């Protein structure tokens, strides 16, 4: 037993190093020239350069692609958080057979992947003239709301119904009960679902490439693709651009991380 306890920290450190290795490669190689990346991939830069960053910034048209990504991510995350919390509240507080069926429909929808419905979905959205940012946001809502509902229902199981009854006696409407009492209590779960969906939507390439792959509308992941041509791959610019692209979501995570563990625990099935 003592040997196992002593071995656990070493194993944890090894796993941490393996997990951090890709980040190390991104950072150190983003400060190298294209030639040095291939001749000295693992080592520190011999000829340290920061020229990759302004060039990558320009090639990405970062200002425009960043705003496109922010708009799509923020609006999608807000809608997912509010809509799924409202749906979960209606399901959890209702004891009808219909609400139970709807809950299992949401659970079953978690198993549906975008790739399985990709062709008919894009075709239908095209006929409805929804191959734009609004249509993309609506798609993200449809694909990500199921997991959020599952987590919110778990969190609502820990909130007593007596709060609703007391607020009703005081004259509060159902909307006031939800937005002024229940939703603030769901903050850890809301932050957790927001972070998980923000990471997913921010880094998504496949869905935006099918829906909004037009000049002036591309997101950062789509623009990153242009660093990889048929005959050449600009790894020095791609790695610099990748680091620029992931910094906002990393900063968001560090600001919200204190809510993550509590949110996951509250969202567990009780």
- Return the pLDDT at 171: 85
Q: Exposed, middle or buried by CB within 10 Å (0-12, 13-18, 19+), for 12?
A: exposed
Question: How far is it, in rounded angstroms, from Cα 83 to Cα 93?
Answer: 15
Rounded Cα distance between 199 and 194, Å, is 9
Domain ranges of the chain: 1-49, 51-267
Residue 6 CA to its chain's centroid (Å): 36
Q: Is the pTM of this model over 0.75?
A: yes
Q: Are 104 and 257 in contact (CB under 8 A)?
A: no
Give the C-alpha distances (Å, rounded to integers) separating 121 from 118, 125, 135, 141, 222.
5, 6, 11, 14, 20
Q: What is the model's pLDDT at position 149?
A: 93
Specify the pLDDT at position 259.
65
48 phi/psi in degrees, rounded to 5: -65, 130
Torsion angle, alpha carbons of 208, 210, 215, 216, to 10 = -20
What are the two backbone dihedrals, phi and then psi, of residue 233, each rounded to the nearest 5 degrees? -130, 120
Considering the domain delimited by 51-267, tell me its CATH architecture: Orthogonal Bundle (1.10)
- Provide the pLDDT for residue 248: 84
Residues of the chain with pLDDT under 70: 1-7, 229-232, 258-270
225: Cβ contacts below 8 Å, ≥ 6 apart: 205, 209
């Amino acid at each position: 037993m003592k040997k196992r306890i002593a071995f656990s920290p070493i194993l944890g450190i090894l796993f941490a190093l393996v997990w951090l290795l890709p980040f190390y490669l991104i950072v150190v190689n983003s400060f190298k020239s294209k030639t040095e990346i291939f001749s000295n991939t693992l080592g520190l830069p011999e000829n340290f350069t920061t020229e990759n960053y302004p060039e990558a910034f320009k090639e990405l048209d970062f200002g425009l692609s960043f705003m496109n990504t922010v708009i799509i991510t923020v609006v999608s995350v807000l809608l997912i958080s509010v809509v799924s919390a409202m749906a979960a509240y209606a399901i959890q507080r209702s004891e009808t057979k219909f609400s139970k069926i709807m809950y299992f429909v949401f659970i079953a929808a978690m198993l549906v992947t975008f790739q399985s419905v990709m062709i008919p979905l894009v075709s239908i959205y095209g006929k409805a003239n929804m191959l734009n940012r609004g249509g993309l946001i609506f798609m993200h809502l449809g694909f990500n709301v199921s997991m959020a509902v599952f987590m919110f229902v778990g969190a609502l199981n820990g909130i007593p119904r007596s709060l609703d009854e007391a607020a009703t006696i005081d004259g509060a409407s159902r909307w006031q009960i939800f937005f002024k009492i229940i939703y603030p209590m769901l903050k850890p779960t809301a932050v957790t679902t927001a972070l998980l969906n923000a990471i997913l939507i921010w880094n998504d390439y496949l869905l935006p490439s099918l829906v909004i792959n037009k000049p002036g509308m591309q997101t950062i992941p789509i623009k990153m693709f242009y660093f990889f041509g048929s005959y050449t791959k600009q790894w020095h610019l791609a790695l610099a651009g990748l680091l620029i692209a992931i910094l906002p979501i990393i900063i968001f995570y560090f600001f919200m991380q204190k809510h993550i563990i509590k949110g996951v625990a509250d969202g567990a099935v009780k």
